[in-house]
Structure 1
Amino acid sequence: MNYPIVLIICFGLSALMCAMLAIGLLTSRAINPSCARMLGLNYALFTLQASLGGLVFSGLWPNGALVRAELAMFLGPALYAYFVSVLRPGKRLSPWHLAPALAMAVTLLAKWWAIVDFAITASFIGYWLATLWQLKRTQHSTSAVPSVAFRWLWVLVAIMAINILLEVALNIEIRLGKPPAQSIMLYLGCAVFTLFHATTLLLMVARVPLIEWMHELKLPSSTQAISDEEKQSLFNRWQTLVEEQSLYRAEPTITLSRAARMLGVPARQLSQAVNGVYGASFSQHLNNVRVEKAKQLLLGHPNMNMTDIYLEAGFSTKSQFHREFSRVTATTPSAFRESVAAP
């Protein structure tokens, strides 16, 4: 028998990467581990799904397809629970969210094969709509969740939508008589999700803000406020570190939690120090430092092009540079350069 080697390799790679992500998130030392743990649980489920896919298509365990169908009914509730852990910390899900899995167990025991694929797709669609509704109703009503978290959640919503489209197309192919191992949609789906898991793993290893925010969400209430003298001392240390290591150039990797670890203090204390002494947020302080660096470059290097200036000052994009420069100086970089060059 010829086995679809490409599918087996994709499932194997996905299982390996999902396992690494699950271990990393489940053992995370995040300040508030609940959302990291919940995402780790999702990746543990993805690990099982991918492993079962490899066993089924390699012929080692054909009946693993039944277990895979049952596990699929936990994916929607688990991902929804992750969204809730981010958007509404402390809220517990109703036991009714186990109903889809129980319904699938009954379906499999009764051997109602005709509705298995339909039930899985219906579950995916239902929970996609639920997560979308949860995200839209919360995005403009809370300041407790950082904006980067919403960007990550929107990425997940998009991936869920892609999964639904691929699932529907796969079901159509199978209904038309094409064996699953020959399905174009199955190969495409494996490729898409292998790439997504690889990207997520790289983001996690690099600790970019799109993932790193989970280490900063919901700072512990047990962290005591510090005195004004301590705030001033900590802010002075932070300013010195920014200048000595040119941390304003580390955008976007220099997050509050990373800066706090560099200083050896809790992130909340650093946030208190910057807000209390400087009167602005951590990110705004860094952007203001970048603007001052850009002003110095505009004054001292009249022939330097704008791209080199905003990169040297620590901005990652031209649009961010113009936006922040205009916010601080009430003028554009070009107008500022012309004004200081005028006799």
Structure 2
Amino acid sequence: MADSNQLLFFLSALGAFNGFILSVYFAINAKKKIFSNYFLSLLMLVLSIRIVKSVFFYFNPNLSNIFIQIGLSACILIGPFLFLYLKPSKEKNQNWVKHVIPYLAAITLIGSFYPYVKHLAIWKIWIVKAIYFQWFVYIVLSFQFINPIIQKIREKEPLKKIDVWSLSIYIGVAIIWLAYTVASYTSYIIGALSFTFVLYLVALLLIFRNNNESNFFQEKEKYKNKEIDAAMLALIDQKLALIVEKELYLNPNFSLDDAAKELKISKHILSQYVNEVLGKSFSNLIKEYRIEKAKKLLENESKITLESLGYDSGFNSKSTFFTAFKKTTGLTPAEYQKSYSK
């Protein structure tokens, strides 16, 4: 094997090896067992199986067909495990079976009745394409859990560590899917790409582990077993109204920290209340207040210009305001004003 091929093989195989190590780590060695970590572990496992198959097949075209079949079959669970890991913790435990068992059963039956060794054409033309399409569908479905993070980036809001981690997982899996999809036009070997992806995860892991702040593994369930008592619920509900009464949300830079200081409530408790009781993020809550303000301005100020409406409602840009207004009301500001005046 030439020196360049030896290096490529080493990098590719090392990426897959790191994937297996991370899979074991997430499943066994996390400080606190959290159910979502098992989905992350399984995601790393099936990715690694697929990558190992690619590496060895690239350097040994005479690889056993059963090994090739196992590697290809593993792809059918990449999308579901990505979806289940990114899905909010309070929902994912309820219906994970329907995202895993049917596909696992289907690929097992297909592999039994149409083994790769005897039906190469069927696998290449139909089965593999169907698997990659299913993988893509789950990438699209998983975007709903990443979209709030993208909105934070667009609105220049600070990202939590778990946001950075989740976004990295999502982008990494999407890149690997794209690499496999275009492999016939470029090169079949994607081990180096996978190696880069896995090392990126390792780097993030080491960074977060060495951070003395809250552990990113646990951040998704930071409110677990910490219910707010009834008296505090009533107090927060009462105090939260002050944000509307004082129109604090008109400050484009109004943050959770600002709200907690103004209302004299713990930032952690306020965040938990907004997330669990109101079922939304703090930024979305403030956005709703601003939209309601904009609607009142449209209803009561006939001479207000649509250009200044967003800024008068607390938004820091016209485009952000128009997007938020249309998403919330289903109408543009001009359409809303016209419908109200009828």
Task: Give the gaps of 5 or more residues in structure 2.
Answer: 152-158, 229-259, 269-342
State the partner residue of 1:20: 21
State the partner residue of 1:38: 39
Query: SS at the partner of 1:214?
Result: coil
- Structure 2 Cα separation of the partners of residues 164 and 31 of structure 1: 31
- Cα distance 1:97–1:45, how it changes in 2: closer, same or farther (>3 A)? closer
Alignment TM-score, normalising by the size of structure 1: 0.52
AA matched with 1:150:
D
Q: Is the 8 A contact 1:87 1:138 kept in 2?
A: no
- Structure 2 Cα separation of the partners of residues 134 and 41 of structure 1: 19
The equivalent position to 1:215 in structure 2, one of 211, 218, 221, is 218
Deviation at 1:14, TM superposition (A): 1.4
- Structure 2 Cα separation of the partners of residues 119 and 163 of structure 1: 17
Query: SS at the partner of 2:217?
Result: helix
Q: Is the 8 A contact 2:15 2:192 kept in 1?
A: no
Query: SS at the partner of 1:186?
Result: coil
- Cα distance 1:50–1:163, how it changes in 2: closer, same or farther (>3 A)? closer
Deviation at 1:137, TM superposition (A): 7.3
The equivalent position to 1:98 in structure 2, one of 98, 101, 107, is 101
Q: How does 1:1-343 map to 2 (within 5 A)?
A: 5-31=6-32, 33-59=34-60, 61-63=63-65, 64-84=67-87, 86=89, 88-95=91-98, 97-108=100-111, 109-110=113-114, 111=119, 112-113=122-123, 114-136=125-147, 147-171=160-184, 173=185, 184-187=186-189, 189-207=190-208, 212-219=215-222, 221=224, 279-281=265-267
- Structure 2 Cα separation of the partners of residues 224 and 99 of structure 1: 36
AA matched with 2:181:
V
- Cα distance 1:101–1:122, how it changes in 2: closer, same or farther (>3 A)? farther
- Structure 2 Cα separation of the partners of residues 14 and 198 of structure 1: 7
- Structure 2 Cα separation of the partners of residues 279 and 86 of structure 1: 26
Q: Is the 8 A contact 1:19 1:47 kept in 2?
A: yes
- Structure 2 Cα separation of the partners of residues 169 and 211 of structure 1: 39
Query: SS at the partner of 1:88?
Result: helix
- Cα distance 1:101–1:224, how it changes in 2: closer, same or farther (>3 A)? closer
Q: Is the 8 A contact 1:203 1:211 kept in 2?
A: no
Structure 1 residues 11-63: Cα deviation after superposition (integer angstroms, max 9, x where no partner): 32012211221222112344461222221222222332333334433437432
- Structure 1 Cα separation of the partners of residues 130 and 59 of structure 2: 25
Q: Is the 8 A contact 2:79 2:139 kept in 1?
A: yes
Length, aligned pairs only? 217
Deviation at 1:95, TM superposition (A): 2.4
Q: Percent identity?
A: 12
State the partner residue of 2:253: none
- CA-based RMSD of the aligned residues comes to 3.9
Deviation at 1:206, TM superposition (A): 2.9
Task: Give the gaps of 5 or more residues in structure 1.
Answer: 141-145, 174-183, 226-273, 283-343
Deviation at 1:78, TM superposition (A): 1.4
- Structure 2 Cα separation of the partners of residues 167 and 52 of structure 1: 12
Q: Is the 8 A contact 2:54 2:191 kept in 1?
A: no
Q: Is the 8 A contact 1:73 1:120 kept in 2?
A: yes
- Structure 2 Cα separation of the partners of residues 54 and 163 of structure 1: 14
- Structure 2 Cα separation of the partners of residues 121 and 44 of structure 1: 17
AA matched with 1:62:
S
Query: SS at the partner of 2:130?
Result: helix
- Structure 2 Cα separation of the partners of residues 38 and 211 of structure 1: 21
- Cα distance 1:138–1:200, how it changes in 2: closer, same or farther (>3 A)? closer
Q: Is the 8 A contact 1:32 1:216 kept in 2?
A: no
Q: Is the 8 A contact 1:74 1:98 kept in 2?
A: no
Query: SS at the partner of 2:29?
Result: coil
- Structure 1 Cα separation of the partners of residues 84 and 46 of structure 2: 13
- Structure 1 Cα separation of the partners of residues 187 and 88 of structure 2: 32
Deviation at 1:131, TM superposition (A): 0.6
Q: Is the 8 A contact 2:50 2:74 kept in 1?
A: yes
Query: SS at the partner of 2:87?
Result: helix
- Cα distance 1:195–1:77, how it changes in 2: closer, same or farther (>3 A)? same
Q: Is the 8 A contact 2:54 2:188 kept in 1?
A: no
Q: Is the 8 A contact 1:74 1:101 kept in 2?
A: yes
Alignment TM-score, normalising by the size of structure 2: 0.52
Query: SS at the partner of 1:185?
Result: coil
- Structure 2 Cα separation of the partners of residues 46 and 164 of structure 1: 10
Query: SS at the partner of 1:197?
Result: helix
Q: Is the 8 A contact 2:37 2:217 kept in 1?
A: yes
